[in-house]
Amino acid sequence: MIKLKKKLLIVLLLLTGCRIAEAQNFTIRGTIRALSSGETLISATVYDMLSGKGALTNAEGRYSLTLPKGKVILRISYVGYKTFFDTIDLSKNEELNVWLESSTVLQTVTIKADRISSHRSSQMSAIDIPVENIKSVPVLFGETDVLKALQLLPGVQSGTEGMSGIYVRGGGPDQNLFLLDGVPLYNVNHLGGFFSAFNADAIKNVTLYKGSFPAHFGGRLSSVLDITTNDGNDKKLHGNATIGVIAAKVNLEGPLYKDKTTFNVSYRRTYFDLLMQPAIMAIGAMEDAGRLNAGYYFYDLNAKVTHRFSDRSRLIGSWYSGDDKIYARMKYTYNYEYNGSTSEEIMKLGYNWGNLVGSLRWNYELTPKMFMNVTGAYTRYRNDISIRLEENEYYYNTTEYYNAEMTYKSGIRDITAKVDFDYQPNPDHKVKFGGNYIHHIFQPDVTGTRYEENYSGTDVIFDTTLGESRVHANEISTFIEDDWTINEAFKINGGVNLTGFAVQGKFYPSIQPRLSGRWMLSEDLSFKAGYSYMTQYMHQLSNSSISLPTDLWVPVTKRIVPMYAHQVAAGAFYNWSGIADLSAEVYYKKMKNMLEYKDGASFLGSSTGWEDKVYMGDGWSYGLELLAQRTIGDITGWIGYTWSKTMRLFDREGQMINNGEPFPAKYDRRHDLSIMVSYKPNKEFDCSATWVLSSGNVGTLSMHEYIDPTTGQTIHYIENRNNFRMPMYHRMDVGVNFHKEKKHGTRTISLSVYNVYNRKNPFMVYEKNNTHSVINGVHYNSALVQLSLFPIMPSLSYSYKF
């Protein structure tokens, strides 16, 4: 009995001691912002130089750091800003908001791809790219493009020449989750993929995860691209207007209510349609009595309003809409003199596709150690076509007419509600947990036909709608993860994401563990490894490397089960102080239940019965990614190299492709090298250049043909799918910017040249008859020819920033 009392006493003492020890800890919290704009800074580092403890700011720029009572020397740093130092005698909880000043030294750093928290973070396979760096990458038509900048990084591959699509570590284009302010965006391309939907003027931060996914992400197998838009300057009105070869854009930001409410609006529109007007009018004039009005354009509108109730509470409304529009209107008028009647024929075509995303988010700091985010969002992707024919006849006081209209609609809508929490009980643990619910409404394709006629006073109306009805699906997920600093050397991030998807009376649950760890071998050298399990419940139907508006999102069904992937990655990271950051990563990814189209199948035009056109199989990818980057000095840049192999195996009974043998995936590319260099000697001038070199895309070619005498048909015999590799791809782009301070702002003239040495890279290859070719010394009267899209393409833009 006495022994038991002693034990109880010891336990009580220990507990009390813990409480006393805990009571001696205090929390410093606050927000880190840019001094010039008031923008919150994401992933800024807050570090106590005495205890060696630190924290990163979250997506709202908030941090929380719990430290023992006593003296604290804080170092707060962020790329491109002067490091801030402060000494605090910590004896109570503190609120410390810091406005960082831009660094003149680092302003010269125009190109930088920074791994999250560098080599010290437990996160690997992630790249954080400041938007200023994206803007300095020379691109096609001078249009700044987030996705094309990402294609220059190791592990990320481009699709076809000029396209914005990304292929990450052997995954397909539908395996990337694009989050705009935390809300999924389904179509991220304009003009068939030549331009991405992200207007760089509206973007604050871009983070790409290629593997070792934190548990709070889910829903796609291969990557997560997390894009945060600007909140808006809280000091005064600022703006930026740019006019380029094909598009113009304007950005305005400023306070609506000083220090409380800010706004940021960006708008971009192409003017192909305006430029083409003379040609369109000339075509119209060729038609007797006809009037033609036609064109194509796309636009993006980003808007964000942020209201700060207090330092602990903020409400953020965010809006994005972006559409591609093709329109045509043709009108013919005929006058009949013999009876005085007039006849009018009108043809109208409208083809619109695009996204709409609206979200409302409330950030609230529940306690100094706990931060909450509540989000409600609506996402819509639509693809609408309408064709209308009208004929009207005016005769005396009567009008006779017929109207015929065909409409085609498809798309997807999501209604999302989510809540997540950041909890930091002590400096060694950073816990995230939360959950979300998404109601998906898939509308694969619906065709409507309407016909109206009135002749001699008789009305005829025919109205019908055909196609698949809407498919409703519910997705829930919950997660918890902890970023745990075990000691100076070891740090791990572990968590789990639990998801479930209900569709057509079927429920698919999934438990997705995630784990990554860091081992500091020395102050500058770390080793990291990670494992992630991802599940995906939807597919995008497309079978070309061009992103078409007819590419449809469809859910898993009773027959088509969810895809999932296991990925392991490991790497070494070395911070070569003052010179460069070096990293080497290897990965292996195994993917199950992937979809490929049956031989001969095409989804062009319709998705009805799509389950019958696909087979399910497996895939795997492995590779090595090397990155060396220099971020300091006048000359900066990086060299990235990827060696990878991506294969598919469809050998299930009745679902064989390539006779059940493995074959290279469409985007399998063995070598991929990117070099990016930027030079900024002064404030008036900067220039940059990129050079890419990669293995050619694969395709399928029938090398042999024979006659079937029973049918007389020539059979084109294909031994293996994707058995032909196109010629190597390489290209150099350069860009030069001239800046000049004006009375009210800064003027920049940008000149960029795409494909400087006019390399004819293959876009597609095909057989052409009556063309001479020599293969292995043998002369043929047919040839394999390639079509190239973009020769040397200079472009010029003018922008003014105030």
Partner 1 sequence: MVRKRYIPMILMLATLMSSCEKVVDFDPGEVEPYVVMVSKPVSDSLVAVYLGYSRFFLDNRNFNIIDNASITITSGNNTAVGTYDPKCFIQSEYYDDWNGYYGPTTYYGGYKFTVSPHPGDTMRLSATVPGYSETVTATTVVPQQPQVEIVDYVVDTMNEDPYSTSFYYRLRFRVNCNSNKDFFSVKLYCGEIRQTLDDTVWMWVWDTTQMRESYFSVSDPIVNNASLEGALDGDDGSYGGREMYFSSERFSGGAHEFTMEFEYYYGMQAQINGMELPVVLEVRSLSEEMYRYDITSTGYTSELDGLFSEPVQVYCNIKGGIGIFGASTNRRVKAPTPRVENFNNSSSNYYKKKK
Residues near partner 1, by CB under 8 A: 543-544, 596-606, 608-609, 612-613, 654, 658-659, 700-713, 715-721, 724, 726-727, 758, 760, 762, 765, 767, 769, 771-773, 775-776, 778, 780-789, 791-792
Residue 610 phi/psi, 5-degree rounding, is -65, -25
Query: Least distance (Å) from partner 1 to the CB of residue 796?
Result: 15
Q: Which is nearer to partner 1, 392 or 700 (CB)?
A: 700
Q: Which is nearer to partner 1, 95 or 719 (CB)?
A: 719
Are 543 and 601 a contacting pair, CB within 8 Å? yes
Query: Least distance (Å) from partner 1 to the CB of residue 783?
Result: 5
Are 170 and 644 a contacting pair, CB within 8 Å? yes
Q: Which is nearer to partner 1, 297 or 603 (CB)?
A: 603
What DSSP string describes 635-658? EEEEEEEEEEEEEEE-EETTEESG
Q: Which is nearer to partner 1, 513 or 699 (CB)?
A: 699
Alpha-carbon Rg for the chain, nearest whole angstrom, is 30
Q: Which is nearer to partner 1, 465 or 702 (CB)?
A: 702
Are 109 and 181 a contacting pair, CB within 8 Å? no
Query: Least distance (Å) from partner 1 to the CB of residue 606?
Result: 4
Amino acid at 726: M
Q: Which is nearer to partner 1, 102 or 773 (CB)?
A: 773
Q: Which is nearer to partner 1, 215 or 595 (CB)?
A: 595
Q: Which residue has the tokens 């000149």?
A: 751
Measured from the Cβ of residue 477, the count of other Cβ atoms closer than 10 Å reads 23
Q: Which is nearer to partner 1, 341 or 544 (CB)?
A: 544
Q: Which is nearer to partner 1, 718 or 736 (CB)?
A: 718
Q: Identify the helix (H) or strand (E) that includes residue 796.
A: strand 793-801
- The separation between CA 403 and the C-alpha centre of its own chain, rounded to angstroms, equals 42
Query: Least distance (Å) from partner 1 to the CB of residue 383?
Result: 16
Query: Least distance (Å) from partner 1 to the CB of residue 771?
Result: 6
Say which residues have a Cβ less than 8 Å from residue 397's Cβ, sequence separation at least 6: none
Which DSSP letter does residue 61 get?
S
Residue 37 phi/psi, 5-degree rounding, is -115, -15
Pairing of strands 429-455, 398-426: antiparallel
Query: Least distance (Å) from partner 1 to the CB of residue 670?
Result: 16
Coil/strand/helix, residue 48: strand
Query: Least distance (Å) from partner 1 to the CB of residue 283?
Result: 22
Are 740 and 732 a contacting pair, CB within 8 Å? no
Residue 587 phi/psi, 5-degree rounding, is -145, 160
Query: Least distance (Å) from partner 1 to the CB of residue 412?
Result: 20
Name which of 642, 565, 655 is nearest 612 in CA terms: 655
Q: Which is nearer to partner 1, 88 or 784 (CB)?
A: 784
| Dist. CA 90–CA 113, nearest whole Å | 35
Query: Least distance (Å) from partner 1 to the CB of residue 447?
Result: 11
Query: Least distance (Å) from partner 1 to the CB of residue 228?
Result: 36
How far from each other are the two terminal CA atoms of the chain, in whole angstroms?
80
| Dist. CA 569–CA 567, nearest whole Å | 7
Q: Which is nearer to partner 1, 195 or 650 (CB)?
A: 650
Amino acid at 692: V
Amino acid at 790: F
Q: Which is nearer to partner 1, 442 or 479 (CB)?
A: 442
Q: Which is nearer to partner 1, 337 or 612 (CB)?
A: 612
Query: Least distance (Å) from partner 1 to the CB of residue 517?
Result: 42
| Dist. CA 62–CA 64, nearest whole Å | 7
| Dist. CA 648–CA 620, nearest whole Å | 7
Q: Which is nearer to partner 1, 117 or 543 (CB)?
A: 543
Q: Which is nearer to partner 1, 513 or 794 (CB)?
A: 794
Measured from the Cβ of residue 691, the count of other Cβ atoms closer than 10 Å reads 18
Query: Least distance (Å) from partner 1 to the CB of residue 718?
Result: 5
| Dist. CA 800–CA 513, nearest whole Å | 49
Q: Which is nearer to partner 1, 5 or 772 (CB)?
A: 772
Query: Least distance (Å) from partner 1 to the CB of residue 219?
Result: 27
| Dist. CA 431–CA 415, nearest whole Å | 27
Query: Least distance (Å) from partner 1 to the CB of residue 546?
Result: 8
| Dist. CA 179–CA 465, nearest whole Å | 34
Q: Which is nearer to partner 1, 456 or 776 (CB)?
A: 776
Say which residues have a Cβ less than 8 Å from residue 544's Cβ, sequence separation at least 6: none
Task: Give the CA diameter of the chain.
Answer: 124
| Dist. CA 233–CA 620, nearest whole Å | 46
Beta strands in 91-186 (DSSP E): 94-95, 98-100, 126-130, 156-158, 166-168, 176-180, 183-184
Query: Least distance (Å) from partner 1 to the CB of residue 726?
Result: 8
Name which of 562, 674, 618 is nearest 150 in CA terms: 674
| Dist. CA 520–CA 790, nearest whole Å | 46
| Dist. CA 512–CA 500, nearest whole Å | 11
Query: Least distance (Å) from partner 1 to the CB of residue 140?
Result: 15
| Dist. CA 529–CA 520, nearest whole Å | 12
Query: Least distance (Å) from partner 1 to the CB of residue 709?
Result: 4
| Dist. CA 161–CA 761, nearest whole Å | 7
Q: Which is nearer to partner 1, 102 or 786 (CB)?
A: 786
C-alpha dihedral (389, 394, 399, 401), degrees to nearest 10: -20
Which DSSP letter does residue 681 get?
-
Written as six digits, the tokens of 172 are 């397909």
Query: Least distance (Å) from partner 1 to the CB of residue 769?
Result: 7
Q: What angle do CA 32, 35, 39 make, to 5 degrees?
A: 60
